[in-house]
Structure 1
Amino acid sequence: MSGLRKLLATTAFRLSLFYLGVFTLSIVLALGYVAWSAERITTRGMVETIEAEIADLERIWRRGGLRRLAGAVERRAQAPGASVYLFTTPQGQRITGNVVSVSPGTLDSPGERTIEYARLVAEDESGVAVHRALVRVFVLPGGFRLLVGRDMGERDRIVEAIWGAFGWSVLVLVVLGFVGGWLVSKRVLGRIEAMTATTKTIMAGDLSGRLGVSGSGDELDRLAESLNAMLERIGELMEGMRQVSDNIAHDLKSPLARLRARADEALRTADGPEALRAALERTIEESDDLIRVFDALLMIARLEAGNAREMRAPIDAAEIARGVGELYDAVAEEAGVTLETDIADALPLEGSRELLGQALANLLDNALKYAGVTAPGAAVTLTARREGDAVLIAVRDRGPGIPQAERARVLERFVRLETARTRPGFGLGLSLVAAVARLHGGVLRLEDADPGLRAVLVLPAAGAAQKDASTRIAVASSERLKRG
């Protein structure tokens, strides 16, 4: 019984009842109008027939007097399907016609009225039959009365048939409406119950659950798809939080332990203020490194959560690239590496000047770090140009490069290849660049420079459809990665 109450309480069932009521009211008004119109039209036809009969009998009376009128009434009364006729004396005695008797008072005054009358039946039957008729009474000179009318039996049968059809139509409509509402509500309730069961498992902690989609494309499917997309995003954010927690727990444990060990060693072995000062300076340096790691982790988490979208504004990527290139020109010269630039005049896009500058600085820092590993004195190239609906900013070095199989993994936090173990860093630079690219609706591509590595930031250009451009960029990047 609770299931039935739940079904009857659904919005779908209530809407079905509402529309059933509206449709039923519409049918009642429509059929009521049809019945009223049929009755009115039939009555009008009867009145016109009576008026025609009277006009014809009046001509006969004027030409031949009462005797000829009585003969005409008698002939017409005996014809098949005849109208109602009664011709009486001034005292009300019947002279001729097909009416035996009428309602009391009918012949007292002239005019039109509806009456009950007794009519002669067919010759093969006996007695009289009582009917209803629409009649008009005339008082002739000398007090004679003439009654002419039409039987209302046919009209009553038509109206009765219409109202009968009306009653059955409403009954069938109500039954079908209730059955249809029940079926629709049961189907909707089943899908809602399935969604509720899934949401309960999700609230219990199982974020892998997804709402079912029937494939019909209705509003419930659209709601389920939106919620599933939201759950996907929540799952990604939760996974990102878990990874940050794991990274902090595992990858920062060693630096902290090393920091403590050095401080402990300085306390035990330092033989003077100078040794303690040197130990404190090394401790401060390592503390600064840890602070930078924490800042990078927090920045990556913030970018992946989309919390920096309010920082987006119209910017010129070419101006930013030139600024970062000039900043790192001195660093490259100090490292014995030539920094070459090829930057277009203007590359407008929507984004964050600070984040994009940080991403380019990370790419240049990595490139300068590995540029001279295999070929001392080699060059690093910074290029920026527009290609279709995208802005491409690329940093190319001639170092050892990254194997194809490792290019997706190096974008994760704290991942460092064996060739980079001897170099300073924590493996967060490329992760931060990839997060900045995703925030701007683009991607970071890692390509083989033969020799070396070519890191390409692909970002939607200003004026392009952001969503479509991002989709095209992602697809192009995926296909390029598959081709290797």
Structure 2
Amino acid sequence: MTALAKLLRSTAFRLSLIYLAVFALFAGSLLAYIAWNARVIFMDQLVDTIEAEVQGLAEQYRIGGVARLAQVIQLRTRSPTNTLYLVTDPRGRQLVGNVAGVPDGTLGTSGLLRIQYKPHEGAGGGNHEAVVRVFALSGGYRLLVGRDVEERERLLDLVRRASALSIVLMIVLGVGGGTYVSRKVLARIDAISDTSRSIMSGDLSRRVALAGSGDEFDRLAASLNAMLDRIEQLMRGLKEVSDNIAHDLKTPLTRLRGRTEAALRQRDPDTYRQALETTLEESEQLIATFNALLMIARTEAGASGAEMGEVDVVPVVQDVAELYEPVAEEAGLALSLSLPERALVTGNRELIGQAVANLLDNAVKHAGPAHGGAIEVQVRHDERSEEIVVADRGAGIPEEARGRVVERFARLEESRSRPGAGLGLSLVVAVARLHGGELRLEDNRPGLRAVLALPRQSGEMGA
């Protein structure tokens, strides 16, 4: 496609032509109205002037007759003027005036006429155009008074030529401006298209360049870049999940196969039964791991199917705490709650409950009686969020490892001997991001304090 064809097919150029056509039509109509209105005003002024002249000269004729009328007209025609005067006797002969000749029949009519006349000697050759009125005086005399309209016609013609030139100049500048704007727009769009093609080719690191003007293209580019950052993050997460599955699930599957083969070699019913029970337990653990991975992936992609609505997190925390209270007592732990009357957020009750359950499960596993044996759960109000806090008195997590433990399958060395796949905190982080919140891991001195912050419902302040 040639550059000209590409320009003509662009939406920006077409819109520029449409705006130009509409504006040219409007401007042309406005100029035509101004010219017509100017002509009407000129004609009204001309008619009023002629009427005033006729009435004044008729009054002079009544006062002093033809002699006085001729004297007044001679006085008025001594200096150059565009007013026409002509007085004829009953036989049609010219008595006084500054008109050399008028078309036949003019003096026998009444009312306003537009005629071609011959000026008096010394006023220039050729016929001139004028608007005149013939007035019948007593005694058969005729009075012709008029105005030469050549100058006004030249002025109106000048206005018409200026209007036409303005419209032509406007069209030229409009087409040029439309072409320039279209090329600038096409350049920005081509940059976005080139970036998109590079990304489709596999280069996920490419981003749309910002011009720094803050216009709609910059806002679009910023939104696209944010979307691309999110896509790259999800793709990186998918790769990490694949790598983690390959490394962390290969071992239990290999162990499962080895135990099965060993049991087959023994040919003992008790050995078979024990191998089947072990296989069932490890299979359930693998299924739980895959389910957790699936939930994390869906939650991070925003496609978990979770419906958002008004949720009071206080009863959610109470329900989860009641479920884990027997587990905590069995482990020799004291579980305490500190809750307000209510704490409203916009979210999904099931996902928030799952996140709280993961935090409590993590606390029960790592806050044994040897470390104080206490787990504190509270809901507190922050400036813009409701915070669910689960604090234990266990060994805690070193500050340099807190960013790593929220990754999938990440486990500290001292946790390797405990059951689990290292997905609990990853799910909590995914739930927090889905709700626009965050998970903070803080030092409880001793132990770990996990804070799940969820944005407070608009206009709501907790009790």
Moved more, 261-270 or 81-90: 81-90
TM-score, length-normalised on structure 2? Answer: 0.93
Aligned to 1:263: 260
The alpha-carbon deviation at position 133 of structure 1 amounts to 1.0
3-state secondary structure, aligned to 1:135: strand
3-state secondary structure, aligned to 2:146: strand
3-state secondary structure, aligned to 1:40: helix
The alpha-carbon deviation at position 194 of structure 1 amounts to 0.9
> Which one of the candidate residues 271, 274, 299 is aligned to 1:303?
299
> Which one of the candidate residues 416, 419, 435 is aligned to 1:421?
416
How far, CA to CA, are the matches of 1:323 and 1:269 in structure 2?
Answer: 48
The alpha-carbon deviation at position 420 of structure 1 amounts to 1.0
Mark the CA change 1:405 to 1:95 in structure 2 (over 3 Å): closer, same or farther.
same
How far, CA to CA, are the matches of 2:154 and 2:358 in structure 1?
Answer: 95
Aligned to 2:95: 95
How far, CA to CA, are the matches of 1:407 and 1:241 in structure 2?
Answer: 21
Provide Cα deviations, 1:38-88, integer angstroms capped at 9, x if missing partner. Answer: 222222222222222211221222233334434443443334326212222
Is the 2:371–2:395 Cα contact (8 Å) retained in structure 1?
Answer: no
Aligned to 1:37: 37
Amino acid at match of 2:290: F
Aligned to 2:448: 453
Is the 2:316–2:353 Cα contact (8 Å) retained in structure 1?
Answer: yes
Q: Percent identity?
A: 52
Aligned to 1:480: none
Amino acid at match of 2:57: L
How far, CA to CA, are the matches of 1:82 and 1:244 in structure 2?
Answer: 98
Aligned to 2:52: 52
Asked if 1:444 corresponds to 2:439, the answer is yes
The alpha-carbon deviation at position 204 of structure 1 amounts to 2.0
The alpha-carbon deviation at position 211 of structure 1 amounts to 1.8
How far, CA to CA, are the matches of 1:268 and 1:204 in structure 2?
Answer: 52
Asked if 1:333 corresponds to 2:329, the answer is yes
Aligned to 1:7: 7
Provide Cα deviations, 1:381-406, integer angstroms capped at 9, x if missing partner. Answer: 22222233322222222222111111
Is the 1:343–1:385 Cα contact (8 Å) retained in structure 2?
Answer: yes
Is the 2:441–2:448 Cα contact (8 Å) retained in structure 1?
Answer: yes
1:20-35 aligned within 5 A: 20-35=20-35
> Which one of the candidate residues 117, 128, 131 is aligned to 1:131?
128
The alpha-carbon deviation at position 251 of structure 1 amounts to 1.3
Aligned to 1:473: none
CA-based RMSD of the aligned residues comes to: 2.2
Aligned to 1:472: none
Provide Cα deviations, 1:212-234, integer angstroms capped at 9, x if missing partner. Answer: 22222222222222222222222
Amino acid at match of 1:62: R
The alpha-carbon deviation at position 187 of structure 1 amounts to 0.7
How far, CA to CA, are the matches of 1:295 and 1:222 in structure 2?
Answer: 39
The alpha-carbon deviation at position 142 of structure 1 amounts to 4.8
TM-score, length-normalised on structure 1? Answer: 0.89
Mark the CA change 1:56 to 1:343 in structure 2 (over 3 Å): closer, same or farther.
closer
Is the 1:76–1:82 Cα contact (8 Å) retained in structure 2?
Answer: no
The alpha-carbon deviation at position 309 of structure 1 amounts to 5.9
How far, CA to CA, are the matches of 1:63 and 1:23 in structure 2?
Answer: 60
Aligned to 2:425: 430
Asked if 1:348 corresponds to 2:338, the answer is no
The alpha-carbon deviation at position 284 of structure 1 amounts to 0.6
1:37-436 aligned within 5 A: 37-81=37-81, 83-122=83-122, 128-270=125-267, 272-308=268-304, 310-372=306-368, 375=370, 378-436=373-431
3-state secondary structure, aligned to 1:92: coil
How far, CA to CA, are the matches of 1:449 and 1:62 in structure 2?
Answer: 120
Amino acid at match of 2:285: D
Structure 2: stretches of 5+ with no match in the other structure: none
Mark the CA change 1:139 to 1:336 in structure 2 (over 3 Å): closer, same or farther.
closer
The alpha-carbon deviation at position 33 of structure 1 amounts to 2.3
Provide Cα deviations, 1:296-322, integer angstroms capped at 9, x if missing partner. Answer: 111111111112363333333222222
The alpha-carbon deviation at position 129 of structure 1 amounts to 4.1
Is the 1:311–1:352 Cα contact (8 Å) retained in structure 2?
Answer: yes
The alpha-carbon deviation at position 376 of structure 1 amounts to 5.5
Amino acid at match of 1:340: S
